Amino acid sequence: MRAWEQSFSEPYEESVLDALRAEGDFSEPFLRALYRRGCRRAEDVYPYLHPEELPLPDPDLLLDMDRAAETILSAIRAKKRICIYGDYDVDGVCATTILYRALTALGADVSYYIPLRAAEGYGMHPDSVRTLAQKGTELLVTVDNGISAHAEIELCRSLGMEVVVTDHHRCHDTLPDAAAVVCATRPGQDPRAASLCGGAVALLLAMRLGCGAERFLAIAALATVADVMPLVGFNRTIVARGVRLFGTEPGLAALLDAAGAGGQPVTETTLAFLIAPRINAAGRMGDARRAVDLLIAADEPARLHFAAELDAANAARKREEQRILTEAERQIDPSAEHRILMLCGEDWNPGVIGIVASRILEQYGCPVLLFTRLGGELVGSGRSIPPVDLFALLSEHAAFFTRFGGHALAAGAAMPPESFDPCRKALMRTLSERFPNGLERAPLLYEDTLALSECTPELCRELSRLAPFGEGNREPVFLLKGTLFDASQMGREGAHLSASLSDGKRKLRLVGFRLGNRFADWQAPKQVEALVTLKTNTFREVESVNAYLSALRCALLDGLWDAADAFLRKPDDATARAVAEHSSKRPDENAMRRIFVRLRPRLRRGIAGDCLTEEELLTLLVLTEAGVAACAGGRFFEQIVTEKKQIANGHLYCALHS
């Protein structure tokens, strides 16, 4: 049961709110949203609400920019053969496209190379470098990679190739020995450049080469959103301007048509959930060069062909993702308390297992490592949550792996098949010792509490002015309270949840994507709390508001959820007293027996803890302490017992009835 927490708790300064009120006819919730986003002076409001009018970053923010441009222009003048060495994710594809089109416009003899995800993985590879040298490449320009490729760049030089590095990943203590190193994270340059993605760095290089920025802004915006860069400062301006120029990119427009969303308004959400997955699917399911081919295609038939290929690849990715997820879940005991899940399949697509790891992590709240057999070894991808630094954990057990890399929340690794079971046991032992009371997940955050009467189409239109939303500028999440009723499933195979929320005077529609499996938990009307984002909906020319669920739970006394979570992790006198102090109910043994009998059919498949009423929650907490029930991944399950259990002597039962 994950804690909820208000992300902004400091008091508002009324004098500041008064100054903001003078800037427009704003609603009070919108004024508070501006305040929370740093608008503390009247002159802050207009720039924040109009990021598209702010200037783009100057290429000179990046060190070595002039040297990189001159090296490339000299190669063009000398008619040297240039190759752009990219990457297979969206950022790499976009950066490759931007620079390829810029150099083509300058008359360069230019090609591009993107490694195959399954065969080569990320970054430069010696064999690929040798192949490019054999093909006559004289200048190699990296995009979205290269800052760590010291040995490969030395190899390039030994083979007679000059190298220009453009990247945004973390710099090491020593820079590679290249003709120019342009990197967003390079020490000693303007810190505002540090959050630029590879596509944005390529954009600035294209600007310095004299190719302008407007023609590439839509592609740079896609790269920025897909690489989950913070949407503040320059990134906010790039995305705000780029989404407005989406229609000038015929390849992206063709892909939007293939996705069935042609003609619809384009926002950062369009880029993140419709376009980016289809670009990514090219590399995950085969060859990322198909995505570059789409974005550089000069004629419409070619664009339609490549767009259809990418859409089909994305559909295949979804099927593969669901297949792997289904097979992986068969290996998991949902009633067990997990510190880490390490699973393996014989034929899982290595380009998809990272997505599946993320989905399993969402459900079980613990680090996940998925491996598949590839070329005689096991290759894997992992995802983690903040209490566990996954890269550090793998480093502690490096002897099991032939190679690994990544960072705190995501990593990749490879190992011999015979190392799998010993490694899994070692990781589980380490985390069990380090977290004896289980892993505590970061709380779900919301900004503000709203009355249903404040959830109006006018407020939705105001909130949309805070866009573009993403990392560093999250879409506002609000806490709503009321009675939940009319729950139903919708979508293909009932995958999504629909319900109504009422405060007795006003009714609001709730929509929960991928929450259809929670339908049984919410059939009966209940007092609930909901974390939502708000959007307008128009049906038959009538405008209304839909509230899209981030989370939903029964409305209990303040602090009870947190106290219950603490008790589950460490059931003792202190945590039991905390639960009792935050409870208004005192069910006795008979009442608990009746509740258990009523819940038992659902307990066999698991009941989400956040859908329980206060008496139900207290009963299952008592039964969990007694060993009759168990809680894992936020769900309660029945435990098979062979002897009679006494519940009246437990810490919690005694605290409730003392």
Describe the strand order of the beta sheet including 368-374 as a list of residue ranges.
341-345, 368-374, 377-383, 410-415, 403-406
Statement to judge: residues 582 and 607 lie in one domain: yes
Statement to judge: residues 84 and 229 lie in one domain: yes
End-of-domain residue from the set 554, 586, 615: 554
Q: How far apart are CA 336 and CA 63, in angstroms?
A: 52
Split into its structural domains, the chain has a count of: 4
Q: Give 575-627 pLDDT, tens digit per residue.
A: 999 999 999 999 999 999 999 999 999 898 889 899 999 999 999 999 999 99
**93, pLDDT greater than 90:** yes
List of E strands, 61-179: 81-85, 109-113, 139-143, 162-167
Is 629 within 8 Å of 616 (Cβ atoms)? Answer: no
Statement to judge: residues 95 and 35 lie in one domain: no
CATH of the domain at 93: 3.90.1640.30
Per residue in 426-445, is it b (16+ CB within 10 Å) or e — as a string?
A: ebeebbeeebeebbbbeeee
In a domain, 89, yes or no: yes
Query: Could you give the angle at which helices 126-134 and 150-158 cross, rounded to 10 degrees?
Result: 20
Statement to judge: residues 518 and 639 lie in one domain: no
Q: How far apart are CA 520 and CA 635, in angstroms?
A: 13
In a domain, 296, yes or no: no
What's the angle, vertex CA 115, arms to CA 113 and CA 120, rounded to 5?
155
Q: How far apart are CA 567 and CA 578, in angstroms?
A: 8
Is 317 within 8 Å of 311 (Cβ atoms)? Answer: no
In a domain, 453, yes or no: yes
Statement to judge: residues 463 and 531 lie in one domain: yes
CATH of the domain at 512: 2.40.50.460
Is 268 within 8 Å of 218 (Cβ atoms)? Answer: no
Strands 139-143 and 444-446: unpaired
Statement to judge: residues 78 and 183 lie in one domain: yes
Q: How far apart are CA 256 and CA 415, in angstroms?
A: 40
In a domain, 481, yes or no: yes
End-of-domain residue from the set 377, 406, 434: 434
Name which of 130, 88, 128, 81 is nearest 103 in CA terms. 81
Statement to judge: residues 193 and 219 lie in one domain: yes
pTM for the whole structure: 0.89
Statement to judge: residues 86 and 42 lie in one domain: no
CATH of the domain at 399: 3.10.310.30
Q: Which residue has the higher pLDDT, 424 or 520?
A: 424
Q: Give 409-418 pLDDT, tens digit per residue.
A: 898 899 999 9
Average pLDDT, the chain: 93
Q: Which helix (H) or strand (E) holds 199?
A: helix 198-208
* pLDDT in the model for residue 503: 94
In a domain, 312, yes or no: no
In a domain, 23, yes or no: yes
Statement to judge: residues 450 and 380 lie in one domain: no
DSSP one-letter code for 518 = G
Q: State the residue range of the domain holding 408.
A: 331-434
* pLDDT in the model for residue 379: 93
Q: How far apart are CA 472 and CA 215, in angstroms?
A: 26
Q: How confident is the model at residue 295 (pLDDT cuts 50, 70, 90)?
A: very high
Q: Average pLDDT, stretch 102-114? A: 97
In a domain, 300, yes or no: no
* pLDDT in the model for residue 604: 87
**518, pLDDT greater than 90:** no
* pLDDT in the model for residue 398: 94
Statement to judge: residues 100 and 211 lie in one domain: yes
Statement to judge: residues 544 and 575 lie in one domain: no
Statement to judge: residues 87 and 236 lie in one domain: yes
End-of-domain residue from the set 187, 222, 241: 241
Name which of 113, 179, 169 is nearest 146 in CA terms. 169
In a domain, 369, yes or no: yes
Q: How confident is the model at residue 450 (pLDDT cuts 50, 70, 90)?
A: very high
